[in-house]
């Protein structure tokens, strides 16, 4: 298709510009966002291929382009083109709509539910309707009108319908008429090129008889499409059917790993399958190959931001409601095979397909019996480990891949690892990938241990910090209490010792003291050189009796510690006594009573004058 025509193309589902994907069986071109929804529906709904990064048979691409240019999209949107659809509120998705749920719901209704397809009048017997549609298809394939045949197929016509009167199928008719595009469309919808008509001829025979050699060669390729696709997936080559080579069996670089008893037993089980079961298994593996290849192309063509924000990766084959639950479970488990395991399975299928095609006999029955017995013994030994596991896995619904973004993101790396076998797989490559994976897992475990150790150390440091904070708080409280606490049990220090004066804990040590201090007991005067008496020996003064002297009563008057100024009478008495001692006069009985206890023996005259002067002046 020319670039001018390609630039005018729009997405068939949202009308977005420059679609890069094609839905082969729907005959439409779609954009990246709509393609992600198509892939989640499954190949039984839409078979998607990239227009540039996927190898195309020329006639197959020409068929899709012809359908798109002839308005095949109107078949799937028939009711939307009716003006009455505007009244009902139905509308087509826009490029600005979100993928989920807007575009996803529209695409499901369009292709899965066929909600907008033109419906024929209802009849009592649907089989009669399908038979009539198949007969119309049988007559239409002789012409080049592709959209008519696609419309009949969308309504339920059978591509492999065997006409009871004419004794052939629509593909026989198209091959005889040389309609290669019709043959491509019929093959997409399941027509078998190997089907024989009433006379025993195949469509290939009719194409060769009619001189349509290109059509005949293409029909041979379609007949071996499954095995060709599997071989191309492993080694990147296809058989040369023109020279009679129809199978390529890739070999592992080191086949010693495939000689185990389990591998032999699995191969024998594969060979013992009936043709019908083997065909189903081969079809499921073909769908898994298509999923892996399409997933690889998808990841290579999308930017990283889109992959993170949208659910675009299909981690396993979607559920096909036409298949049984057991088969759907087996199809989904194919995604769990790594590159080496899946390559081994593909090689076994190719080998057995070649054997069945050529009619080669199986190996001796003795080997089969031995392998079966070994398999049974291995199963019995492993029953104890498998009893806790369920017999079947739960089958995921079609909406799981759209709703569970976390699961899709977790399987994205697994899909990348599984898609590394586009070329020939060697044991060395497999071991390199395995060693790298083991090293990565070991590194992750090491980092997790380091993280746990750091977390433990952090918790220990936090506990220590809390302990230190509490101890600091307690010490601050104790220091504050000690500052304001009055110490009653402290000792007097030596007046001649300056260091002991500095350590005196009394609060009065911070201010000057007079000889005589009111509100307390009399302080003992010690001459220089004498040792001070401890404070414990000092007894508190008791209340004076009624005959106590006036001076004693004045000394016992309770006053504030902050008021140490004596009254005038105290100063006069004190001065009088000092003068008498200075003149050498004896003290009277009244004076001796004032200094009771004998604490002022040999009062120094100079000290009396100095003290008297300080107190008076």
What letter would DSSP give residue 535? G
Q: Binning pLDDT at 50, 70 and 90, where does residue 16 land?
A: very high
> Given this model, what pLDDT does residue 306 score?
55
Task: Tell me the mean pLDDT in the region 415-440.
Answer: 68
**pLDDT surpasses 80 at 286:** yes
> What does the pLDDT look like over 587-617, one tens digit per residue?
444 444 444 444 444 445 544 444 445 444 4
The percentage of the chain sitting over the pLDDT mark of 70, rounded to a whole number, equals 61
484 sits in which H/E element: helix 427-484
Task: Tell me the mean pLDDT in the region 291-317.
Answer: 77
Residue carrying the six token digits 């089958």 = 395
> Given this model, what pLDDT does residue 82 score?
76
Instruction: Give the Å distances, CA to CA, from 605 to 20, 317, 530, 584, 602.
Output: 124, 121, 18, 9, 9
Task: Tell me the mean pLDDT in the region 485-489.
Answer: 52
Who's near 202: CB < 8 A, 6+ residues apart? 193, 194, 195, 196
Q: Give the ranges where 10-111 is alpha helix by DSSP (H).
A: 32-41, 58-69, 73-76, 84-88, 104-107
Task: Tell me the mean pLDDT in the region 448-454.
Answer: 93
Instruction: Say how many residues make up the chain.
Output: 617
3-state SS, residue 82 = coil
**pLDDT surpasses 80 at 312:** no
**pLDDT surpasses 50 at 535:** no
> What does the pLDDT look like over 106-144, one tens digit per residue?
999 999 999 999 887 765 556 778 899 999 999 999 999
**CA nearest 277: which of 340, 349, 329?**
349
Q: Output phi, psi for 399, to 5 deg.
A: -85, -10
Q: Of the segments 145-154, 261-270, 301-310, 369-378, which one has the largest average pLDDT value?
A: 145-154
> Given this model, what pLDDT does residue 320 score?
96
Please state the three-class secondary structure of 402-425 as a single string: HHCHHHHHHHHHHHHHHCCCCCCC
Q: Which residue has the higher pLDDT, 413 or 162?
A: 162
Cα–Cα distance for residue pair 163/272, rounded to 1 Å: 34
> Given this model, what pLDDT does residue 86 score?
58
Rg (CA), the chain: 53
> What does the pLDDT look like over 199-258, one tens digit per residue?
999 999 999 999 999 999 999 999 999 999 999 999 999 999 999 899 999 887 765 555
**pLDDT surpasses 50 at 308:** no
Task: Tell me the mean pLDDT in the region 484-502.
Answer: 48
Q: Binning pLDDT at 50, 70 and 90, where does residue 100 land?
A: confident
568 sits in which H/E element: helix 568-582
Has this prediction a pTM greater than 0.75? no
**pLDDT surpasses 70 at 566:** no
Q: Output phi, psi for 22, to 5 deg.
A: -135, 140
Report DSSP letters for 106-167, one per residue. Answer: HHIIIIIS-TTSPPPPP-S-HHHHHHHHHHHHHHHTTSS-HHHHHHHHHHT--TT---TTT-
> What does the pLDDT look like over 509-527, one tens digit per residue?
444 554 444 444 455 555 5
Partnered with residue 26 across adjacent β-strands are: none
Structure tokens, 428: 């060395």
3-state SS, residue 199 = coil
Q: Output phi, psi for 604, to 5 deg.
A: -70, 130
Instruction: Give the Å distances, CA to CA, from 329 to 275, 316, 320, 324.
Output: 21, 10, 10, 9
> What does the pLDDT look like over 54-64, one tens digit per residue?
999 999 999 99
Instruction: Please check whether residue 29 is in contact with residue 51, taking contact to mean a CB–CB distance below 8 angstroms.
Output: yes
Partnered with residue 10 across adjacent β-strands are: 17
Strand 28-30 with 48-50, pairing: unpaired
């Amino acid at each position: 298709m020319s670039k001018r025509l390609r630039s005018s193309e729009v997405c068939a589902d949202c009308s977005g510009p420059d679609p890069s994907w094609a839905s082969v069986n729907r005959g439409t071109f779609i954009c990246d966002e709509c393609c992600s929804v198509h892939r989640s529906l499954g190949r039984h709904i839409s078979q998607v291929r990239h227009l540039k990064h996927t190898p195309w048979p020329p006639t197959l691409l020409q068929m899709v382009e012809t359908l798109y240019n002839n308005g095949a999209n109107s078949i799937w949107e028939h009711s939307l083109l009716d003006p009455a659809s505007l009244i009902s509120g139905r509308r087509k998705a826009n490029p600005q709509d979100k993928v989920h749920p807007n575009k996803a719901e529209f695409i499901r209704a369009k292709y899965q539910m066929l909600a907008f397809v033109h419906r024929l009048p209802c009849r009592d017997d649907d089989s009669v309707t399908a038979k009539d549609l198949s007969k119309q298809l049988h007559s239409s394939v002789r012409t080049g009108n592709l959209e008519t045949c696609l419309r009949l197929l969308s309504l339920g016509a059978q591509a492999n319908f065997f006409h009871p009167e004419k004794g052939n199928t629509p593909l026989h008719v198209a091959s005889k008429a040389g309609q290669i595009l019709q043959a491509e469309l019929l093959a997409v919808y399941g027509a078998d090129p190997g089907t024989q008509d009433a006379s025993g001829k195949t469509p290939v025979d009719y194409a060769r008889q009619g001189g349509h050699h290109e059509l005949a060669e293409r029909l041979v390729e379609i007949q071996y499409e499954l095995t060709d696709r599997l071989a191309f997936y492993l080694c990147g080559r296809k058989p040369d059917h023109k020279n009679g080579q129809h199978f390529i069996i890739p070999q592992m670089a080191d086949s010693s790993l495939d000689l185990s008893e389990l591998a032999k037993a699995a191969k024998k089980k594969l060979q013992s399958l009936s043709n019908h079961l083997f065909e189903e298994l081969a079809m499921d593996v073909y769908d898994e190959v298509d999923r892996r290849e399409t997933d690889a192309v998808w990841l290579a063509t999308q930017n990283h931001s889109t992959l993170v924000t949208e659910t675009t990766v299909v981690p396993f084959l979607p559920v096909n409601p036409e298949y049984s639950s057991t088969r759907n479970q087996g199809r989904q488990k194919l995604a769990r095979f790594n590159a080496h395991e899946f390559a081994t399975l593909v090689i076994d299928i190719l080998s057995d397909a070649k054997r069945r095609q050529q009619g080669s006999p199986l190996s001796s029955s003795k080997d089969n019996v031995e392998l079966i017995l070994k398999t049974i013994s291995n199963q019995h030994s492993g029953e104890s480990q498998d009893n806790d596991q369920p017999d079947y896995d739960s089958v995921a619904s079609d909406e799981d891949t759209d709703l569970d973004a976390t699961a899709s993101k977790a399987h994205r790396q697994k899909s990348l690892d599984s898609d590394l076998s586009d070329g020939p797989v060697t044991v060395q490559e497999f071991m390199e990938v395995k060693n790298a994976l083991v090293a990565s897992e070991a590194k992750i475990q090491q980092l997790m241990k380091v993280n746990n150790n750091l977390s433990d150390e952090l918790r220990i440091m936090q506990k220590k910090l809390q302990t230190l904070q509490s101890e600091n708080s307690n010490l601050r409280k104790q220091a504050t209490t000690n500052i304001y606490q009055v110490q009653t049990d402290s000792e007097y220090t030596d007046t001649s010792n300056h260091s002991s004066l500095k350590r005196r804990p009394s609060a009065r040590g911070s201010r000057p003291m007079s000889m005589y201090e009111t509100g307390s007991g009399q302080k003992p005067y010690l001459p220089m050189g004498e040792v001070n008496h401890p404070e414990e020996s000092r007894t508190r003064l008791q209340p004076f009796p009624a005959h106590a002297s006036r001076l004693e009563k004045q000394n016992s008057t309770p006053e504030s510690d902050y008021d140490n100024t004596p009254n005038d009478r105290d100063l006069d008495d004190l001065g009088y006594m000092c003068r008498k001692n200075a003149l050498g006069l004896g003290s009277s009985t009244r004076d001796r009573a004032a200094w009771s206890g004998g604490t002022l023996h040999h009062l120094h005259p100079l000290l009396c004058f100095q003290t008297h002067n300080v107190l008076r002046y």
